[in-house]
Structure 1
Amino acid sequence: MKLFSTIFKPHSCLLVYRSVYTSRSCSKIKNLNEFLLKMPKESTHTITLKAQRLKIKEKGQKYPPGTVSLQVLGSGAKGAPRSLYLFTDQSRYLFNCGEGTQRLAHEHKMKLSKLEHIFITQGSWQNLGGLPGVVLTIQDVGVPEITLHGPSGIDEIFTATKRFVVLKNISVKAASCKPDDVYEDNAIRVSYVPIANEKPSSVESDSGTEQGSSDDDIDYYGHAVDRNPNKNAIPASTKTTSESPSHDKAKDIQVRRCVMCYIVRLQPRPGSLCLEKCVEAGVPPGPLLGRLKGGEDVVLVDGRVVRSSDVTLSADPGPVFLVVECPDESYLDPLVQNPAFVKYQAGQAGPDEMPMLIAHFTPQHIMDDPKYKEWMEKFSPSTHHLILNEGNKCMGSSAVHRIQHKLNLLEPSVFPLLRDHTVLKDSMCPTPNSEVSSDISARTNSTSDLGCDFSIVNAKTFCNVSLRPRKPLDNFTKVVCDPEEYKSEVMNIEGFPAELNKLTSELGGLTNQSDSEYPNVIFLGTGSCIPNKTRNTSGILLNISDDKCMLVDCGEGTYGQLVRFYGPEEVDRILSNLKAIYVSHLHADHHIGLIGVIKGIARVRNNARLYLLAPKQIMFWLNMYDKHFENILQNVQLVANQDLLHHNYQLDEATQNSLKCDLGFERVETAFVKHCPNAFGVTFKHVNGWKIAYSGDTMPCDSFVELGKGSDLLIHEATMEDELKGEALIKLHSTTSEAVDIGRRMDAGFTMLTHFSQRYAKLPRLGESGTFGDNVGIAFDNMKVRFQDLPKLKHLYPALRLMFQEDVDELETKAFKRQMKQERELKKKQKI
């Protein structure tokens, strides 16, 4: 055996995995070795970006920034991240980083390339869930180091995720955040205000929730896969342990019991030079002006002294804003009684100490507490109170509605409209005051209860506070949904109305073989690697019956996708019915959303069992999170994928019967597939006879074909187009034709293609016909498929090509350029 390894940028998915090959042909191995060795081992673009960043940073550190603003990225609404972004001329700062932050940042072009500091108020998933994805993203754009501020031990999240969140070009460090510590740079000065509760933390005693875990020393982005068709993967050896590495009980207590609040002041900025005053004082053009601007007094040639203060405008002392969180009642007294806030309260604060804004990450039931309201009342009436919590409604994305409204024109039953509370364009409030007053009346009654004119603002994505120069708070730039605009964009495409009429006629001629609603499949995420604004990472909801459902893979933002699809009210019913979550393998884009879903389930039901069907190594990560941060495993029962193997089924009879009772499955079986270690394909065989197969991530795999024989529905990854077969081989993925071929060999009734590279954000490149037969379909986010809908899908492709014609043309252009490049390289080799 030969071991080859070449590692690319992990987050951009340019990964080349170490691969183990057995072959009769030594020459093939030699050629492959040469091929891999010629590939760049390290991305050079990050080195260039780092050098550029350093140069810009050194230049910017000389002066305080002239433009500073605070903008809401995520409002904290149900299913949305809660995060606040501080922009300056030279740098960026993030306050909390909820799950889905990077997706919203990408959609709204809030660049993360200058982000170097993240401030966390509490070690909860609402604040931490987006950290792994954001750090991977900024690593890829050349950020050399990220500093985490917050309760001690907050950086432990990267200890547990190190096997599936690969940080090779960025270092993560934790700042010392003791009460006497201060973070300071050219833009801001941050004081830390730790708030500790008084109740004992569950970590101080053995909670008994930890399940058998593995000390996971596997590199999931540097794995070995045997190409021998009789060996579809190499199961990694593991060693059982009951303790996470670098375990520090004191840190556990600190991160669980401590909330970190922040007092942030902009650095003072000297007044700008007034040229008119300089002319009046007789200062000649030249270097004297620069010295005056820098605060230095100068002597003119005639001996007169010109003071800097006489020719400059008033200095800006730097406004103050606070970031606070009070997670529950146990923190309430320590917060409101903390003396660190007194000097900023009305009657105590001077003009320069009155906070311009207080950002509250506090849950609504605590904000409604009279003690909390009384504490808010102590600040100046001019202070804005910005609320980022679950009581808000803005989920922050319009792109998902844009594409869904377009797809809905084709077949409403397959592409239903989303049900989250995105504001429609025609329902926007006509006056600023009407929205603010209605929010206060409906949510906090703060004006009447407190007898004081509070400026309370319910956060929405785009809500902006300009701190320098000072401007009124802008909460009226909204993420809006304009259905008529979206429809007109499509209907104005030449030939589309005729194609739509043709499609409607074809679908109308189909006869339903069944009117059963179940089973049905909701595609929540159909993209690979990282989320973009139209395709989220892997996630599928399998609705088994009216009161039973399960998730199949669970990428970042899966919980938010459920809220968008069902709406914030109906999603609670779905979570109540959610009996199991299946995870195919331990790449981050397939399971990092798991904790968010588990917490969502815990919110709507108590003490109900949740089956987690996953590689057993996942418990290293989950046990660590449960121990260090929050209890999440009380009701989770692991069913290891290794125990469900088709040819080595080891699941005990009691658990088999429970799965049958709770989910209706006669049998759930897995097979190792050709991807990373402990990657599985799976089949779900229901007592009513139907069978669904899911590939997870894999190359074409004989063992999965055997496992899935006779499936009614195959859901198979199709990451790459056929012309990129070489790239698919390196990354251990399938092309579209390979996925379709697996369906044929499996004798599957229908094959749905999913997990597309994000280069195919709208439509994968399938060629002119776009079909491989009558039983192949393309998955989209927020697509609902019942068995009786499957025959409709083959008719959609011509309309889809017209709908996304610009994207299709762009893909064809790239393919043409790629082909020309290959031909040029071939000619060069022939000349040599």
Structure 2
Amino acid sequence: MSSRVSFIQARRYAKVLNSNLINILKTMPKEKTHIPEAQKQRRKIKEKFSKYSPGRVTLQVLGTGAEGAPRSLYVFSDQSRYLFNCGEGTQRLAHEHKMKLAKLEHIFITRPTWANIGGLPGAALTIQDVGVPEITLHGPQGLEEIFIATRRFIVIKDLDIKMAQCDENTTFEDNVLKVKYVPLKRSGNSSPISEPKNSNLGQMQEDNIDYYAHEHSGRRKSPPKISESKLLQQKNKPTNFSMAYICQLQPRPGALLLDKCVSFGVPPGPLLGQLKSGHDVTLVNGKVVKASDVCEPDDPGPVFIVLECPSEEYLDSLIDCEEFKKHQETATKDEDLAHTVVHFTPQKIINHPRYKEWVDKFSPSTHHLILNDSNTCMGSSAVHRIQYKLNLLSDDIFPLLGDKGTQTIDDQVTEPPQPKKIKPDSPSLPIDQLSVKSRPASPTDPNIYTNTLFNYHLRPKKACDRSNELKLVPSQFIDETMAIENFPSVLHEVTQQMAQKRRHLTVRDFPRLLFLGTGSSIPNKTRNTSGMLLEIDENTSIVIDCGEGTVGQIIRFYGQDKANAELAKIRAVYISHLHADHHLGLIGVLQGRQRAMQKLEKGAQPLFLLAPKQIMWWLNFYDRCFEKISEEFVLVPNGELFFNNHELDQLLEKQLLEGLQMRDISTCLVKHCPNAFGVSFVHQNGYKITYSGDTMPSENLVQLGKTSDLLIHEATMEDELAAEAVIKMHSTTSQAIEIGRQMEAKYTLLTHFSQRYAKLPRFNENFSDNVGIAFDNMRVKLDELPLIPLLYPALKLMFVEYYEEMEQKAAKRQMKIEREKAQQFVT
């Protein structure tokens, strides 16, 4: 009996310990302690190399500007990194291609439009995380205000962001580059900002809510309260200017040729250093050795130009600019001739006769690199790699991606994709129809179209380098999967089971769900941040959450030929809450849909934006200070659709439900940040789909989603990390499954996985035949949901090494916890 009492007491004491542990975790600093040390090391390295001109400098294409892809040029040396433009999705490509952002300290923006700055907020978080202490923005005045506008949902606490003074009278210079700013101005008077027509914008008050208040600790500070009125005093948007950059590498002495030193009889020692510094020396025997005899010629530093001429209104400023003439054929010195011109200019302007005439004034040896939508490479091989693997399981649920813009190499396909074929009278002619004079003279590099990781080496030798350009090798992706022990037999068994199960299902074409992002916080190469496309029928769809890169995911899935039709079908966007990983892609979707409607010659039709009303401060700011977006949507506040208590204007609700073919759309507050909502959609045909957004287990959500056909629930953490889930106010996998059980949902799909589960989350005994896991680019019809659990054996084997590593980490973590508990118990 006494042993039984002791056991019960021990269990009670363990519960107390667990409770204390959770309290400790709640209050302990969550700061990333590596950042100050990384910043310290960065400063030391910078100081060490700041006196020397680098021996290696390369222009590298990161984002090509293809439809749905960012456009960004990376300039790297063996000391520093520079980025020219930072479109939406840059952060994800930089992660995949292992760009050394720890050395990035300067970002140059041609124009502050979403195509150029949409990736800045996300990239800043990554730059901060790798220990960069300070970053300087270069571009039109007002550019830095993007960080003021996003301060509520982009938390920059360890990174100082500065704005350079950029005008025709100032320059930037360090040990690598000298940069001349050349502002291009629109012809005529710039029109003042008018009051927005959308009444939602004009009436919205400032949003001073801190959406990360639950994570405060240590050095973490709340975002400052800044008056919107002061920010909106400027009369001209910064988009009335386009900043061009004339860049020249710092001169570098020629390298010392040791073999020639030996032949001249120069002994080892200080004389070599004098020769390397450019000084002639006298040997013991009286012989004079000239530095020019034993060194390569000095490199004065080549010139490259980066510019964007966005429309015909800027052509006068471009053509009349005297600064460019100094680097065209009229240059007085050979070293002043522009070696490379990087054009972010849209294709219709590149084809303009006046622009082509300006290009022709450069030397025939000048190379012209084009970063715009005339390119086709979207920049990622990782998304194709995992899709080829998953496609082995089901061609229906994991179809191969429609993006065909990257060179594919296998037994059948060896030719790179051809440039777009465009009729001569089209406003978008191929760039190779520029006159011969304006094209590179080198016969080895006549093609100025680029793919991601295209390099142009400016030093030590000037050369075009396509050896690292992105390529896809499907046979390799498939072979490495089929080579896994026992996988072929398990694959055969799984596909047979799925075929048998499918024969007993009646599968309707709609509704169906396309998962565009299934990861949390920041994107990685296999899981983008949150986003789904609920396809209601062949003409109507809803975007549900909208992380950075959502529009790119749609274009990548459907391919450029079909994507416009799919974008035009979007009738609504639902935003669950105002964390960046759930809404930073909204502007991209609005603009992408607008372009698609124009290309398809469809009349303007604003979509319904179901979101926390506080989102309007951000959209208002962007509309008035950067680009007009107010006409692209009609706000439907989530708080006016509360379950059993709708307060939305009756006419607007009628239009909303009829436009989306819904019988009911209702929301509820969930346990996450302020103004976080769950939602349920009830279709006219009777099916019900509920989405949690980000939340801890929520009784409100259970009531909202009762008897749903499908619950889509976040499952950020594995069960053993329940304490961390409490801190971050997320759910574990078992908690999400339990909510589905309480809700009596027919099926539960888990999503929003922590990026530590980049390929596969950990399974547990609570996974059953009505629980599925979501992957990026997984498209599943509502009637196909019973097939998803059949995939588990093959998925575990497909990612066996990754899964075993997760299990080992979990085991070590559990052993550590047990040791700490035992030690505390003994103490």
Shorter-chain TM-score above 0.5? yes
Mapping of residues 267-282 of structure 1, within 5 Å: 267-279=250-262
Task: Identify the residue that residue 560 of structure 1 maps to in structure 2.
Answer: 552
CA distance in 1, matches of 2:422, 2:46: 41
Structure 1 residue corresponding to 2:407, chosen from 401, 405, 423: 423
Shift in CA distance, 136/35, structure 1 to aligned 2, threshold 3 Å: closer
Say whether 1:125 aligns with 2:114: yes
Task: Identify the residue that residue 787 of structure 1 maps to in structure 2.
Answer: 782
Give the Å deviation of 1:438. 8.9
Residue by residue over 1:248-287, the C-alpha shift from the partner in whole angstroms, topping out at 9 and shown as x without a partner, is 443x615120000111100000112233454566654333
Task: Identify the residue that residue 682 of structure 1 maps to in structure 2.
Answer: 679
Shift in CA distance, 609/542, structure 1 to aligned 2, threshold 3 Å: same
CA distance in 1, matches of 2:716, 2:732: 6
Mapping of residues 175-574 of structure 1, within 5 Å: 175-201=164-190, 203-209=192-198, 210-223=201-214, 244-250=228-234, 253=236, 255-279=238-262, 283-296=266-279, 308-309=291-292, 311-421=294-404, 422-426=406-410, 444=429, 450-452=435-437, 454-455=439-440, 456-475=447-466, 477-510=468-501, 511-574=503-566
635-644 or 449-458, which deviates more: 449-458
Shift in CA distance, 690/384, structure 1 to aligned 2, threshold 3 Å: same
CA distance in 1, matches of 2:256, 2:47: 23
Task: Identify the residue that residue 7 of structure 2 maps to in structure 1.
Answer: none
Task: Identify the residue that residue 708 of structure 2 maps to in structure 1.
Answer: 711
Say whether 1:76 aligns with 2:51: no
Mapping of residues 731-746 of structure 1, within 5 Å: 731-746=728-743
CA distance in 2, matches of 1:71, 1:817: 41
CA distance in 1, matches of 2:806, 2:136: 39
Q: Aligned partner of 2:557: which letter?
A: F
Q: Percent identity?
A: 53
Q: Aligned partner of 1:96: which letter?
A: N
CA distance in 2, matches of 1:335, 1:156: 26
CA distance in 2, matches of 1:187, 1:36: 46
Aligned Cα RMSD in Å?
2.8
Give the Å deviation of 1:823. 2.6
674-683 or 489-498, which deviates more: 489-498
CA distance in 2, matches of 1:636, 1:159: 23
Q: Aligned partner of 1:782: which letter?
A: N
Q: Aligned partner of 1:591: which letter?
A: H
CA distance in 2, matches of 1:626, 1:677: 24
Structure 2 residue corresponding to 1:698, chosen from 689, 695, 700: 695
Task: Identify the residue that residue 12 of structure 2 maps to in structure 1.
Answer: none
CA distance in 2, matches of 1:378, 1:224: 57
Structure 2 residue corresponding to 1:772, chosen from 767, 780, 794: 767
Where 1:359 maps in the other structure, the secondary structure is: strand
Q: Indicate conservation of the 8 Å contact 1:211/1:619, yes or no.
A: no
Structure 2 residue corresponding to 1:657, chosen from 630, 643, 654: 654
Give the Å deviation of 1:514. 2.8
Structure 2 residue corresponding to 1:155, chosen from 144, 147, 156: 144
Structure 1 residue corresponding to 2:135, chosen from 119, 122, 146: 146
Residue by residue over 1:346-405, the C-alpha shift from the partner in whole angstroms, topping out at 9 and shown as x without a partner, is 143532112121111011111111111111111111111111111211001111111111
Residue by residue over 1:548-591, the C-alpha shift from the partner in whole angstroms, topping out at 9 and shown as x without a partner, is 11100000110000001111121111111111100000110000
Residue by residue over 1:520-543, the C-alpha shift from the partner in whole angstroms, topping out at 9 and shown as x without a partner, is 110000001111111110000000
Q: Indicate conservation of the 8 Å contact 1:224/1:677, yes or no.
A: no
Where 1:344 maps in the other structure, the secondary structure is: coil
Say whether 1:59 aligns with 2:53: no
CA distance in 2, matches of 1:615, 1:447: 48
Q: Aligned partner of 1:78: which letter?
A: E
Q: Indicate conservation of the 8 Å contact 1:213/1:618, yes or no.
A: no
Q: Indicate conservation of the 8 Å contact 2:713/2:749, yes or no.
A: yes
Residue by residue over 1:117-156, the C-alpha shift from the partner in whole angstroms, topping out at 9 and shown as x without a partner, is 0000001111001101111001001000111000001000
Where 1:154 maps in the other structure, the secondary structure is: coil
Where 1:543 maps in the other structure, the secondary structure is: strand
Q: Indicate conservation of the 8 Å contact 1:388/1:459, yes or no.
A: yes
Q: Aligned partner of 2:455: which letter?
A: N
Mapping of residues 550-699 of structure 1, within 5 Å: 550-605=542-597, 606-699=603-696
417-426 or 543-552, which deviates more: 417-426
CA distance in 2, matches of 1:651, 1:742: 28
- Structure 2: gaps spanning 5 or more residues: 1-14, 217-221, 441-446, 598-602
Where 2:299 maps in the other structure, the secondary structure is: coil
Give the Å deviation of 1:660. 1.6
Task: Identify the residue that residue 761 of structure 1 maps to in structure 2.
Answer: 758
Q: Indicate conservation of the 8 Å contact 2:193/2:624, yes or no.
A: no
400-409 or 280-289, which deviates more: 280-289
CA distance in 2, matches of 1:164, 1:317: 45
Task: Identify the residue that residue 80 of structure 2 maps to in structure 1.
Answer: 91
Q: Aligned partner of 1:717: which letter?
A: E
Give the Å deviation of 1:431. 9.1
Where 1:73 maps in the other structure, the secondary structure is: strand
CA distance in 2, matches of 1:151, 1:763: 44
Task: Identify the residue that residue 5 of structure 2 maps to in structure 1.
Answer: none
Q: Indicate conservation of the 8 Å contact 1:161/1:621, yes or no.
A: yes
Where 1:352 maps in the other structure, the secondary structure is: helix
Q: Indicate conservation of the 8 Å contact 1:580/1:610, yes or no.
A: yes
Shift in CA distance, 417/772, structure 1 to aligned 2, threshold 3 Å: same
Where 2:313 maps in the other structure, the secondary structure is: helix
Q: Indicate conservation of the 8 Å contact 1:74/1:81, yes or no.
A: yes
Q: Aligned partner of 2:323: which letter?
A: A
Residue by residue over 1:194-232, the C-alpha shift from the partner in whole angstroms, topping out at 9 and shown as x without a partner, is 00102554543334342432311111111499xxxxxxx
Task: Identify the residue that residue 816 of structure 1 maps to in structure 2.
Answer: 811
TM-score by length of 2: 0.91
Give the Å deviation of 1:619. 0.9
Shift in CA distance, 505/651, structure 1 to aligned 2, threshold 3 Å: same
Q: Aligned partner of 1:244: which letter?
A: E
Q: Indicate conservation of the 8 Å contact 1:512/1:788, yes or no.
A: no
Structure 2 residue corresponding to 1:169, chosen from 158, 180, 187: 158
Q: Aligned partner of 1:553: which letter?
A: D
Give the Å deviation of 1:800. 0.5
Where 1:823 maps in the other structure, the secondary structure is: helix
Residue by residue over 1:62-120, the C-alpha shift from the partner in whole angstroms, topping out at 9 and shown as x without a partner, is 11000110100010000000000001011100000011111111111122111110000
Q: Indicate conservation of the 8 Å contact 2:42/2:102, yes or no.
A: no
Q: Aligned partner of 1:730: which letter?
A: I
Give the Å deviation of 1:473. 1.1
Give the Å deviation of 1:309. 4.7
